[in-house]
């Protein structure tokens, strides 16, 4: 069936974008694009991407300088022009502006091996090297055997390992490869089943070897195409493959672009942190009665339990789970505690909010209690009415509306990869417990008439020292996921944190905190660099869990003290304005730094070390033998 053209009646989002384009208002109203693309997928999204790709990114930035950009360089063996509209749209639907660089046809070896190539000159955040099966089959003799395929596969894997090593030496950002599908038109060319089985085994072994390269190359991501093809997508298109040298289908490339959009969202600090769940019709069947009966007893009980298993799996990996439901609190808690068929239990949630207040108001209260912005939440509900209310009240929140069939709930939640991350850390495994402690702290605060008395009774202890190798992944995660207290919003992969720390004259300080309620863990990092008698604070990030407790002041006090003790003459600080870090715009002036320059985006400040910032009286600071200034 032919797909409707962009702007047709069957494509209402495309019609709106086309109307904006034709009226000359698409550039001026570009911030609307994110909301217009909400819920659009498949061919309709690619058509929207075709319209958006006509805009010059520089023009968009001049009109809307606060938009976050992501630069992508695309290279490969085949024709990849079909990928660009989907990439443009997938990044736009996450509020990002794509800066693309498309390499020449079949240039991936040159692009990645030559340090002077245009690909490296692009300085891309993401380098997409799109692999297809013809990388192997184009080099087989005629006739060929499984032995020939084994030889070429080994040669290609060896080549790819060389290219990955070169990228890690020369390039920046993240390199993305992918596994290659095995088209049946090639297995069918081997008429004996034993040879077909051998080719399949060789192909899968090569894919597994490619996937395992991520274990030893920290700036490499490998997208596994097999799960995407298992969704029912065609891997190839025979006609496009023969006539246009496009060796992956447009449907598969669009689905691949969706994965890249999720990755770009994470690398720009937009990974979601908390999953807020309705109950009736979402986690269980029907409406909870006062006696708590019937919630998992109907025909859909198996599907609802399956969805609960998915939610529990997500929560076990550091995602905060919370209930936001219109119900009476005690029956809800009884069900979560006592119902024999419940997979999720009371202790799985950082907070259970069950009352009859508007859900968007409850979400506001929860955000304050957790010290998180609402745009770090994903809200899931089966009611279109509630979804619309929450989306209207909290524009940055991700709203997942569920359909009538509970068997589809899990994929409705998972398909947008809201919680995708490059790597889990030890902190992720304990995050739920730490936020549960955080809510106890929040409730503890209500007992005091002043913040000062509350902080004093918290008995905060702060430890500052040089980041160790096991802490590098967590420090990287803080730069990637922290938006509010992130002075320069510079995102760093573990390898970049490690390289910074190993630079002569530089040091990365790790900030740990604990109090009467428990250990907060590694909550912050300070990036310091010394040049002559000047110490530069290149960045300072602090988890939103520990805002407004004087920890930032204690860290700055330690930096200034050690700089003075090491004979420095001054400390320079840097602040870069971004969409979400306005709360720290006056951080340096607040503690005695004088302004040096400000171009509207980047500001510089200087402290002459004449009047040092004191450690707050209510906390105890312990330098950890690594707190000396560079």
Residue with the two structure tokens 């929140």: 397
Cβ(487)–Cβ(528) below 8 Å: no
List, for residues 280-295, the tens digit of each pLDDT value.
999 998 888 654 556 7
Q: How far is CA 471 from CA 342, 460, 468, 512, 536, in A?
A: 37, 21, 5, 11, 22
Of the candidates 444, 580, 447, the residue with the CA atom closest to the CA atom of residue 518: 444
Asked if the peptide bond before residue 276 counts as cis, ω within 30 degrees of 0, the response is: no
Long-range CB contacts (within 8 A, 24+) of 471-475:
471/510, 471/522, 472/497, 472/498, 472/501, 473/423, 473/425, 474/425, 474/426, 474/427, 474/510, 474/521, 474/522, 475/508, 475/510, 475/522, 475/525
Q: What is the pLDDT of residue 626?
A: 47
Q: What is the pLDDT of residue 1?
A: 35
Q: What is the pLDDT of residue 454?
A: 81
Q: What is the pLDDT of residue 540?
A: 96
Q: What is the pLDDT of residue 292?
A: 52
Q: Provide the angle, in degrees to the nearest 10, between the axes of the packed helices 431-445 and 359-370.
A: 100
Q: What is the pLDDT of residue 434?
A: 81
In 102-192, alpha helices (H) = 108-113, 118-121, 134-137, 146-170, 184-187
Q: Which domains does the chain have, with CATH numbers?
A: 33-267 (3.40.50.1110), 274-414 (3.40.50.1000), 430-623 (3.40.630.30)
Q: What is the pLDDT of residue 627?
A: 45
**Which residues of the chain fall short of a pLDDT of 70?**
1-11, 289-294, 298, 625-630
Q: What is the pLDDT of residue 2?
A: 41
Cβ(486)–Cβ(541) below 8 Å: yes
Q: What is the pLDDT of residue 495?
A: 86
């Amino acid at each position: 069936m032919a797909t409707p053209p962009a702007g047709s009646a069957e494509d209402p989002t495309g019609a709106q974008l086309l109307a904006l384009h034709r009226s000359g208002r698409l550039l001026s109203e570009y911030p609307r694009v994110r909301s217009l693309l909400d819920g659009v997928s498949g061919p309709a999204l690619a058509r929207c991407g075709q319209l958006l790709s006509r805009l010059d990114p520089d023009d968009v930035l001049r009109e809307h300088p606060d938009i976050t950009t992501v630069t992508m360089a695309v290279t490969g063996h085949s024709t990849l022009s079909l990928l660009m509209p989907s990439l443009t749209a997938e990044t736009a639907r996450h509020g990002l502006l794509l800066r693309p660089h498309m390499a020449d046809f079949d240039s991936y070896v040159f692009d990645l091996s030559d340090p002077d190539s245009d690909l490296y000159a692009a300085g891309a955040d993401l380098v997409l090297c799109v692999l297809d099966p013809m990388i192997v089959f184009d080099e087989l003799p005629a006739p060929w055997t499984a032995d020939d395929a084994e030889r070429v596969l080994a040669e290609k894997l060896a080549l790819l390992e060389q290219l990955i090593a070169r990228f890690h030496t020369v390039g920046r950002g993240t390199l993305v490869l992918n596994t290659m599908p095995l088209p049946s038109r090639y297995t069918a060319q081997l008429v004996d089943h034993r040879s077909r089985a051998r080719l399949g085994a060789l192909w899968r072994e090569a894919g597994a070897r490619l996937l395992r390269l991520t274990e030893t190359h920290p700036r490499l991501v490998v997208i596994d195409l097999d799960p995407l093809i298992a969704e029912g997508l065609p891997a190839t298109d025979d006609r496009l493959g023969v006539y246009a040298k496009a060796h992956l289908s447009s449907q598969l490339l669009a689905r691949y672009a969706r994965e890249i959009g999720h990755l770009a969202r994470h690398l720009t600090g937009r990974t979601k942190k908390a999953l807020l769940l309705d109950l009736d019709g979402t986690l269980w069947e029907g409406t909870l009665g006062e006696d708590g009966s019937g919630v998992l007893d109907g025909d859909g009980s198996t599907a609802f339990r399956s969805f609960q298993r998915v939610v529990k799996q997500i929560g076990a990996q550091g995602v905060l789970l919370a209930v936001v439901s219109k119900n009476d609190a005690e029956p809800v808690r009884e069900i979560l505690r006592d119902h024999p068929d419940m997979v999720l239990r009371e202790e799985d949630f950082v907070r259970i909010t069950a009352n009859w207040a508007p859900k968007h108001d409850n979400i506001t209260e929860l955000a304050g209690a957790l010290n998180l912005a609402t745009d770090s939440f994903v809200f899931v509900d089966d009611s279109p009415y509630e979804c619309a209310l929450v989306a209207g009240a909290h524009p940055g929140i991700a709203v997942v509306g569920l359909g009538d069939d509970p068997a589809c709930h899990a994929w409705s939640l998972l398909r947008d990869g809201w919680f995708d991350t490059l790597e889990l850390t030890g902190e992720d495994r304990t995050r739920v417990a730490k936020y549960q402690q955080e809510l106890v702290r929040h409730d503890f605060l209500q007992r005091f008439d002043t913040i000062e008395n509350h902080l004093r009774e918290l008995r905060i202890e702060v430890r500052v020292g040089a980041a160790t190798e096991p802490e590098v992944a967590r420090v990287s995660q803080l730069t990637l996921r922290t938006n509010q207290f992130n002075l320069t919003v510079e995102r760093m992969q573990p390898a970049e944190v490690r390289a910074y720390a190993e630079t002569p004259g530089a040091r990365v300080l790790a900030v740990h905190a604990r109090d009467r309620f428990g250990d907060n863990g590694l909550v912050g990092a300070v990036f310091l660099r010394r040049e002559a008698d000047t110490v530069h604070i290149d960045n300072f990030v602090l988890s939103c869990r520990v805002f407004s407790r004087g920890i930032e002041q204690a860290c700055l006090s330690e930096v200034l003290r050690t700089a003075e003790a090491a004979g420095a003459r001054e400390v320079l600080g840097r602040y870069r304005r971004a969409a979400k870090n306005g709360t720290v715009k006056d951080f340096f002036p607040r503690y005695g730094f004088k302004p040096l320059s400000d171009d509207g985006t980047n500001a510089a400040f200087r402290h002459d070390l004449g009047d040092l910032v004191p450690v707050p009286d209510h906390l105890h600071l312990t330098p950890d033998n690594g707190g000396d200034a560079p």
